[in-house]
Amino acid sequence: MPELLPRRRLDQPRMPRRFAVRFDPEVFGQVSERIARFLGTGKFLFWMTVFVTTWIAMNLFAVGLAWDPYPFILLNLAFSTQASYAAPLILLAQNRQDDRDRVSLEEDRARAEQTKADTEYLARELAALRLAVGEVATRDYLRGELDRLRDELPGTESAGARRRRESAESAGERDDVP
């Protein structure tokens, strides 16, 4: 007897269903975050209070419109339904925020590591420059050495030696003056 349904091959994916609902998870997440943010505002609490107060007032005082008598079972059902949707939306929004925080933290860590590496590199370069500068002769050192060499040459006198001699002579003259 021939098979009524052809055998499915397990190595090939199924054909998609015709009426499959497709949605973008990112858009759904953004909408859920907006709802979760709205649920946590004073505006929501104000309008929810107005709604509940109106509901109770109409059911207590408008006898002809009393669709939900005193124990307010329908109102309680509405609260339960709202809570059953609000809790997962809030958790979804928190998970998305955790994901963003995790990515931000990883970027901050990478930036901190790069900054630390850059700082260590600059510290090494600065130390190398200090060592190199320590070996460089300064202008004052060169002047002093040149003055000393000029003083050692016979018949020459450096400007520094001349200044020292003149200052010594003027100090000697001052010592003689009573």
Average pLDDT over residues 118-145: 87
Would you say the pTM of this structure is higher than 0.85? Answer: no
Q: Write the pLDDT tens digit of every residue in 27-39.
A: 888 888 898 888 8
Residue 52 in tokens: 């509940």
Q: Write the pLDDT tens digit of every residue in 52-105.
A: 999 888 888 877 777 888 888 998 999 999 999 888 888 888 999 999 999 999
Q: What is the pLDDT of residue 114?
A: 97
Other CB atoms within 10 Å distance of the CB of residue 44: 14
- Say which residues have a Cβ less than 8 Å from residue 74's Cβ, sequence separation at least 6: 67, 68
DSSP 8-state class, residue 23: -
CA dihedral 164, 169, 170, 175 (to 10 degrees): 130
- 83 against 15, higher pLDDT: 83
- Say which residues have a Cβ less than 8 Å from residue 72's Cβ, sequence separation at least 6: 55, 56, 59
Neighbouring C-alpha atoms within 13 Å toward the C-beta of 110: 6
Q: What is the pLDDT of residue 168?
A: 76
